[in-house]
Amino acid sequence: MSIAAGYKTSSSTLIAIEPLEDFSVCFSTKCKDLFGHYQFYWSAANTSLDKIRSDMESLDFVHYHNGGLEAASSSRHEVMIVASRFRYIVSSAGN
C-alpha cells in the first residue's frame, strides 16, 4: 500500500485488493503497461498464441499461480491479478 499511496492524488482513492480463491499473478520488469501491451499487440482476433508466447518470453514475463504476490509487488512494476472473487479495502489515508 505504501508504494501505491505515492500515486494517490486528492481526487483519487486508494483501494487494496486481495484474491479470495485461486488466482494468477503476472508482471514484467520490461513492460510498464501490461494491459496496454495486451490492447495494442494481443487483443486482435487473429493474434496467434505463438506471437503471444514469443512476446511474453521477450518481456521476461513472470507468472505465478496461487502465490507470488510479494515478488510481484516488490518488482515495482505493473501487476495484473486474475481471480473470480476479491476482497477490497478502501483507504482514506492521505486525504
User: 486474475: which residue's cell?
Assistant: 82
Q: Which of 47, 25, 81, 72 is nearest to 38 (CA)?
A: 47
Q: Give pLDDT tens digits for 20-32.
A: 999 999 999 888 8
What is the residue extent of each domain of the chain? 2-7+23-91
Q: Give pLDDT tens digits for 41-58.
A: 888 899 999 998 898 899
Residues 6+ away with beta carbon under 8 Å from 18: 86, 87, 88
User: Dihedral, CA atoms, 39, 45, 50, 51, nearest 10 degrees?
Assistant: -40
Q: Is the sign of the CA dihedral 49, 80, 41, 61 positive or negative?
A: negative
66 has pLDDT over 70: yes
